[in-house]
Amino acid sequence: MSELLTREQYHAIASDLQLPTQSFIDGRFRPALSGKTLPTINPATGEVLTNIAACSAEDVDFAVNKARAAFDDGRWSSLHPGERKAVLLKLAELMEQNSRELAVLESLDSGKPVAECETVDVPETIHFIRWHAESTDKIYDQTAPVGSDAVAMVVREPIGVVGAVLPWNFPLLMLGWKLGPALAAGCTVVLKPAIQTSLTALRVAELAHEAGLPNGVLNVITGRGSEVGAAIGRHPDVDMVTFTGSTETGRLFLNYAAESNLKEVVLECGGKNPCIVLDDAEDLDAVAEHVVAAAFWNMGENCSAGSRLIVHENIKDALLERVCAHTREWRTGDPLDPANKLGALVDKGHFDKVVSYLNRGKEDGHTLLLGGELMEGNFVPPTIFDGVKNGDALAREEIFGPILVVITVASVEEAIAVANDTDYGLAASVFTANAKKALRAARAIRAGTVTVNCFGEGDATTPFGGYKQSGFGGRDNSLHAHDQYTQLKTVWIDLS
Ligand SMILES: NC(=O)C1=CN([C@@H]2O[C@H](COP(=O)(O)OP(=O)(O)OC[C@H]3O[C@@H](n4cnc5c(N)ncnc54)[C@H](O)[C@@H]3O)[C@@H](O)[C@H]2O)C=CC1
Ligand code: BAL
């Protein structure tokens, strides 16, 4: 990673950026067939950054036909795995060469702090693409144990045309999570970024073309979810949809699939994730750092944010003192200032939603420990409410902003019961010095990822996805991600 720059230097880079404006279909940029455009706004300033193509079902049809043709003629799926790997590694290399530009573009378009984009989003996206590229020529098919009179091969084949529908909170990273395994498996892709954050996906499509990805293999199509997303979900020639976003929109994709071609659907949806701190947790200062990162990283715009702190009454005061102290170090402001750890919320609509929860917290009589004040623009500083019960709105609903609620418990059993008392089941953290308690809690908590004595989401090697209403149909990351993008065929050969 190169050194971080100064605020002035980031602003200078931002003002010189060439912003992509058109969709990328079949190897080149194209306007929407209707010619319509939509503004994309800088969340930090409210200014129009540029206008992007406002595509519709017609454009989706065009892109899917190109992706279908590219899949069916085998220009990508029939390549030797080593050749696919070489193209994907080249893409990773080009992204690395352009990493600063990608980081600034991501920050400008999404409001994320540029330091995070430079140190996490861009390098991690490259790492995920590289990791899956490397897997291309290392995954073996199987033979079944059917005796000596037959050979039964279990062959993994690419599923076909993938519709990838992305959220705005990690535009590049989610692209990496989906594209890496989909392209490694030999699929072709029609990718729809969130309307707020389309720019980096368009730039990656251009870089992928430069890396040698054949035309039609990766198509990035911009526009409204209700038009472009729905048209992808309903298209009869899309073989599967991989989606990350809200549970509410995720549900729609199940309807779209049922109403069209029964395409496979994988959903990675919301969370209201518990962060449990038991009274034997060691090094409360380190615990507090994890709690703060879990709650406020990426402005809390994170499906796996630890937004419910469930703390044992015996250590509550000592922990909260440290949590507040660390939170005060998380400065909020200009995303292009590398000293800021929180940038802008993604848009005014989302800001209003988060503010409504701030107001709700106050109206419901919770104790405001920190934050709660508003700044000019779409900025909300980290806020902590104590005295929250798990039945309260702030503890049940996904706020997706920098608001942490504190729930006090008197035992490990109560902590686990509270942790599980939610519609969601994406992630959880447990802090304790007792290994038995940690493992018992990890098993008892109904969530796809449980971290012990740390906050995190695993890495490229570990599956990521949710239990209950946090997920459906498969996992991102690790070799298990390849299951989303492949299907199994049995080839039975009679030897008798
Ligand atoms: N789990 C996660 O990672 C995310 C959760 N959220 C949650 O969702 C809330 C609302 O945010 P949104 O931007 O509205 O998320 P969303 O779930 O509606 O958006 C995710 C993707 O779905 C597309 N989409 C939207 N409406 C669609 C439709 N009718 N048919 C097909 N595709 C559609 C969007 O354009 C975007 O690409 C947030 O406040 C947050 O609580 C939002 C983004 C990511
Ligand atoms: N935390 C990565 C997945 C997501 O927030 O959508």
How remote is the CA of residue 222 from the centroid of ligand 2, in Å? 20
- H/E stretch holding 173 reads helix 171-185
Residue 313 CA to residue 330 CA, distance in Å, equals: 26
Write the DSSP string, 431-459: E-S-HHHHHHHHHHS-SSEEEESS-----
Counting ligand 1 atoms within 8 A of each CB, the residue from 172, 246, 352 with the most, and so the one to mutate, is 246
How remote is the CA of residue 167 from the centroid of ligand 2, in Å? 8
The pLDDT of residue 187 is 98
Q: Is residue 384 within 8 Å of 367, Cβ to Cβ?
A: no
Q: Is residue 10 within 8 Å of 104, Cβ to Cβ?
A: yes
pLDDT in tens, 414-456: 999 999 999 999 999 999 999 999 999 999 999 999 999 999 9
The ligand 2 atom at the shortest distance from the C-alpha of residue 173 is 2
Residue 190 CA to residue 306 CA, distance in Å, equals: 32
Ligand 2 and 298: CB distance under 6 A? no
The ligand 2 atom at the shortest distance from the C-alpha of residue 303 is 5
Residue 112 CA to residue 135 CA, distance in Å, equals: 30
Q: Is residue 237 within 8 Å of 443, Cβ to Cβ?
A: no
Q: Is residue 395 within 8 Å of 272, Cβ to Cβ?
A: yes
The ligand 2 atom at the shortest distance from the C-alpha of residue 301 is 5
Mean pLDDT score of the chain: 98
Q: pTM for the complete prediction? A: 0.98
59 token code pair:
């454009």
ipTM value: 0.96
459 token code pair:
């890495």
Residue 326 CA to residue 316 CA, distance in Å, equals: 15
The one-letter amino acid code at 87 reads V
Q: Is residue 421 within 8 Å of 399, Cβ to Cβ?
A: no
How remote is the CA of residue 304 from the centroid of ligand 2, in Å? 6
Residue 161 CA to residue 62 CA, distance in Å, equals: 13
Ligand 2 and 169: CB distance under 6 A? yes
The pLDDT of residue 119 is 98
pLDDT at 478 over 90: yes
**Mean pLDDT within 85-112:** 98
Ligand 2 and 167: CB distance under 6 A? yes
**Mean pLDDT within 225-247:** 98
Counting ligand 1 atoms within 8 A of each CB, the residue from 249, 268, 272, 470 with the most, and so the one to mutate, is 249
The ligand 1 atom at the shortest distance from the C-alpha of residue 165 is 37
How remote is the CA of residue 313 from the centroid of ligand 1, in Å? 37
333 token code pair:
């402001």
Question: Which ligand is the nearest neighbour of the Cα of 228?
Answer: 1
Question: Which ligand is the nearest neighbour of the Cα of 249?
Answer: 1
Beta bridge partners of 220: 24, 191
Give the pairing of strands 486-494 and 23-25: unpaired
How remote is the CA of residue 474 from the centroid of ligand 1, in Å? 19
Which DSSP letter does residue 346 get? S
**Mean pLDDT within 251-273:** 98
**Mean pLDDT within 339-355:** 98
The pLDDT of residue 48 is 98
**CA atoms in the 13 A half-sphere facing the CB of 170:** 26
Q: Is residue 275 within 8 Å of 295, Cβ to Cβ?
A: yes
Measured from CB, residues less than 6 Å from any atom of ligand 1 are 165-169, 192, 194-195, 225-226, 229-230, 233, 244-246, 249, 252, 269-270, 303, 350, 353, 398, 400
Q: Is residue 49 within 8 Å of 19, Cβ to Cβ?
A: yes
pLDDT at 296 over 70: yes
Ligand 2 and 465: CB distance under 6 A? no
453 token code pair:
């004595």
Q: Is residue 294 within 8 Å of 326, Cβ to Cβ?
A: no
Q: What is the gyration radius of the CA atoms in the chain, in angstroms? A: 23
The pLDDT of residue 99 is 98
Residue 340 CA to residue 379 CA, distance in Å, equals: 12
Report residue 64's pLDDT band, with 50, 70 and 90 as the boundaries.
very high
Mind telling me the catalytic residues? Answer: 268
Q: Is residue 116 within 8 Å of 10, Cβ to Cβ?
A: no
The pLDDT of residue 1 is 56
Share of the chain above pLDDT 90, in %: 99
The ligand 1 atom at the shortest distance from the C-alpha of residue 248 is 17
Ligand 2 and 170: CB distance under 6 A? yes
Residue 12 CA to residue 14 CA, distance in Å, equals: 5
Counting ligand 2 atoms within 8 A of each CB, the residue from 267, 301, 303 with the most, and so the one to mutate, is 303
pLDDT at 2 over 80: no
The pLDDT of residue 374 is 86
Residue 470 sits at the vertex; the CA angle it makes with 469 and 472, to the nearest 5 degrees, is 80
Q: List Cβ neighbours of 413 (8 Å cut-off, separation of 6 or more).
A: none
* Ligand 1 atom 34 nearest Cα: 225
pLDDT in tens, 196-212: 999 999 999 999 999 99
Counting ligand 2 atoms within 8 A of each CB, the residue from 267, 268, 273, 451 with the most, and so the one to mutate, is 268
Share of the chain above pLDDT 70, in %: 100
Ligand 2 and 304: CB distance under 6 A? yes
403 closest CA partner among 358, 367, 359: 358
| Helix residue ranges, H only, 310-378 | 316-327, 348-363
386 closest CA partner among 372, 369, 400, 363: 369
